[in-house]
Structure 1
């Protein structure tokens, strides 16, 4: 796995941008207090502004429900009202993205076949291997090349700050078969390790896995939104990718 830091990205306003030729991976920040809450008018306006900002034709996202449901956007009709947590497309000039405020955003890229995916993986999605399910669907529907696949893990609440119940701890240990000393520190869960376990199981090369080392809860240098850190109201980050 390759660790990425803020300096590895192009910073433009409140976006961290990673360019892969025709494909761009973008993680929003809370630098300008801009929130992407799809249930608020200001959030919809901020989402729609991405189209003009990046000179795109459209933007797509799902009504997230902490599931393992994966959709394919083929350009025929919008999926904005569909309930699910992962979106795949090969359509150019359309951003696909996910909302987070501690959960893990994952972007998957196959440059060879011009296919991208955006995944929202909270503890439930992680527990149910939504990333592995997305990779399998990409392979079945788009014949992705395992040797070319790149996986980007974005800002989320990390093991340093993510304490769970004893019951959930036992469930994760039983489910994943990951060494407890790696998966937990006390009751602090390493969501990323679960995701890495599924990504490696699928066959993604180690040097094609990238992790942006930012914790939404305790990061000081980069302002981010965190559900656990907030008191009442909290903003939403939007992590997305597009093909041009």
Structure 2
């Protein structure tokens, strides 16, 4: 049955996603607010199909905080990349440059207000990321980053990328860590499986902490569902 569910999910979700992407230029004509609502509709479609076709149970633990914040999340699948933008009211998301270069999709993502970062993380790339994040902060938006830098396998806990500490210092906002368990349902490779997808929001961590302390606290919090 896992194979059947996986095939049905891919046909439905990726088919619908192709239509969403193709219609992005039209949506963009109505401005950034409409484009963000359009993105939320795509995220809702993804969540619905994961629940109804794959049979996953989605559970949110902890209080989803309000206000302008820096969210730091675990990244195991595409699920949280879309779902967090929906439930966090369209934060400016830090996105690797490879995605921004995808025709049409990359253009739409930047119109939405993503923050593009080079994975090589040289000094110039980090400065550009800080400027984009500060511009987003000036508009009142929160910022979402996956500080380990990429999708990881369930249970893996690589160190945080260097850009996170710089972003934390530049934005001077409280950090809300988000632990995630999604890779057991939606693995990077192979069949999707029924099970629980969990998003766990930790308590806000204040700004202004030393780099070593903030990295240790965020790393521990986003990996709280490991094991």
Shared topology, TM-score over 0.5?
no
